[in-house]
Amino acid sequence: MTVTNQKSKPKSHSKQATILIALVILFGLGYAIKTAYSAFLTRSKVAEAFLLVHPIQNTLNEFAVKNAGYPLSVELENTSFGLPQPFEIQGTYISSVVAHKEVENSQVTIFAYINTQIIPDLEDGKDILLTNPYIKFLGTFDGKSTQWECSSNLAKRYLPNNCSGS
């Protein structure tokens, strides 16, 4: 009988260990799903920048076509392009949109700044919290239209595939 009892104890410990391992796996899986869903929600909120910027890109392209490019020796900003002031261009998740062209530069830049009051705790690619998260659209006029490149100081997980993150 003692042999039977000795065999029962290891089976009991084996069942407990199996249950414990299964619980750890379930909690890990739950955490992974929660993290992925959270990144998905943030990514969908950040996408508002692309909706706000698209008509501005069209306006800037029309400006470049009409003026045969962006003037090199002049600094331009929203009102120069016929756009509203930066804080007048905003959404739920985007606090402002700024169009800017520096002197001695033939490219134009659009910055869409994320509203950190609505989307807090955004990180860069090194998991460092950002105080001023933005998405940057750099436009270069090729003589026919403006070609746009997208980049950001946000972690790549928050951005669409056609936009590079930090």
Domain count, the chain: 1
The secondary structure element, H or E, covering residue 90 is: none
pLDDT digits (tens, 9 = 90+) for 8-45: 455 667 888 888 888 888 888 888 887 778 888 888 99
Residue 7, pLDDT > 60, answer: no
Residue 114, pLDDT > 80, answer: yes
C-alpha distances (whole Å) from 144 to each of 65, 69, 70, 76 are 7, 9, 12, 20
19 lies in some domain? no
Q: Which residues have a Cβ under 8 Å from the Cβ of 162 and sit 6 or more positions away?
A: 150
What is the domain-level CATH number for residue 158? Answer: 3.30.700.10
Indicate the range of 27-31, 105-109, 121-125 predicted with least confidence.
27-31
9 lies in some domain? no
Is the pTM of the predicted complex or chain greater than 0.85?
no
As a whole number of angstroms, the distance between CA 31 and CA 48 comes to: 27
Say what percent of the chain tops pLDDT 70: 92
153 lies in some domain? yes
Tokens of 84: 């509203």
110 lies in some domain? yes
CB atoms within 10 A of CB 99: 26
Domain that holds residue 86: 47-164
Residue 49, pLDDT > 90, answer: yes
42 lies in some domain? no
Please give the sequence-ordered ranges of beta strands (E in DSSP) within 69-119, or none if there are none: 76-77, 94-101, 107-114
* Strand, helix or coil for residue 138: strand
What is the reported pLDDT for 10? 55
As a whole number of angstroms, the distance between CA 141 and CA 145 comes to: 6
